[in-house]
């Protein structure tokens, strides 16, 4: 596995990010308002890594995280638009890593059951998780990626 950055972009867009003040995070502005997803992670404290403390924060125990809302958007999911033909679609609600807003409770982005990006859900609700890990470039795989012949890391 590769020790690459997982970005939990907690940059406030509006509000101060704590207490009873309603706060919208940068991903909300990028995806809801401007429709401009990015793979850039501006703040070092939001760049989660295992060992690398030069580019990341070294805060992870294992190199696995959740898919970000920006990554889901770049894969073709849109806020409020059903997409049942996308490869991320499972028919289940799935948490994503990116915070969207805070207003008395945390509200991260999620993939909604119809394949759209969705926000305004209390983080205390039970949902599936979309795990992500990054492989080194020298890893070999077998399989074709179908359900009958899935990829296998050798």
Condensed to tens digits (0 to 9), the pLDDT of residues 2-30 reads 899 999 999 988 866 566 678 899 999 99
Share of the chain above pLDDT 90, in %: 64
**Of all helices (H) and strands (E), which one includes residue 14?**
strand 12-14
Read off the pLDDT of residues 25-78 as tens digits, 9 standing for 90 and up: 999 999 998 999 999 999 999 999 999 999 999 999 999 999 999 999 999 999
Q: What is the distance between the alpha carbons of residues 111 and 28, in angstroms, rounded to a whole number?
A: 14
State how far Cα 66 lies from the chain centre: 5
Alpha helices, DSSP H only, in 14-136?
Answer: 26-28, 69-74
Read off the pLDDT of residues 80-122 as tens digits, 9 standing for 90 and up: 899 999 989 999 999 999 999 988 888 999 999 999 999 878 8
Q: What is the distance between the alpha carbons of residues 70 and 136, in angstroms, rounded to a whole number?
A: 22
> What is the pTM for the complete model shown?
0.86
CA distances from 81 to 28, 112, 116 (A): 16, 10, 5
Name the token pair of 127: 């949902």
CB neighbour list of residue 146: distance below 8 Å, 6 or more residues apart: none
């Amino acid at each position: 596995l590769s020790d690459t950055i997982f970005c939990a972009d907690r940059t406030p867009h509006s509000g101060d990010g704590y207490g009873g003040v309603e706060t919208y995070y940068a991903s909300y502005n990028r995806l809801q308002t401007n429709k401009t997803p990015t793979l850039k992670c501006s703040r070092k404290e939001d760049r989660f890594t295992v060992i690398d403390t030069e580019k990341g924060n070294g805060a992870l125990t294992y190199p696995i995280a959740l898919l970000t809302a920006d990554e889901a958007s770049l894969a073709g999911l849109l806020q409020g638009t059903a997409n049942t033909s996308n490869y991320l679609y499972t028919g289940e609600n799935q948490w994503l890593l990116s915070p969207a807003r805070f207003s008395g409770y945390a509200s991260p982005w999620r993939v909604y059951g119809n394949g759209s990006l969705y926000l305004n859900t209390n983080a205390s609700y039970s949902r599936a998780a979309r795990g992500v890990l990054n492989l080194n470039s020298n890893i070999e795989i077998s399989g074709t990626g179908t359900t009958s012949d899935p990829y296998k890391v050798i």
